[in-house]
Amino acid sequence: MFDLTGKVALVTGGSRGLGRAIALAFAGQGADVAVNYRGNAAAADEVATQIRGLGRRSLAIQGDTSAGREACEAIVKAAIDEFGTVDILVNNAGITRDNLLMRMDEEEWNDVLSTNLSGPFWMTRAIARPMLKARSGRIINMSSAAGRMGNPGQANYAAAKAGLIGLTKTTARELASRGITCNALAPGLIETDLTADMPAAATEALTTLTPLGYIGSVDDVAAAAVYLASDEARYVTGQVLGVDGGIVMGG
Provide the annotated active-site residues. 157
Q: Helix, strand, or coil here: 53?
A: helix
What one-character DSSP code corresponds to residue 130? H
Q: Which amino acid is at 209?
A: L
Asked if residues 224 and 246 have their Cβ atoms less than 8 Å apart, the reply is no
Alpha helices by DSSP H, listed for the chain, are: 17-28, 41-53, 69-83, 106-113, 119-134, 146-149, 155-175, 193-196, 200-209, 218-229
Asked if residues 237 and 182 have their Cβ atoms less than 8 Å apart, the reply is yes
Asked if residues 175 and 129 have their Cβ atoms less than 8 Å apart, the reply is no
Q: Phi and psi dihedrals of 30, rounded to 5?
A: 105, 0
38, 54, 195 from 202: Cα distances, Å: 28, 38, 10
4, 49, 141, 224 from 147: Cα distances, Å: 29, 34, 12, 18
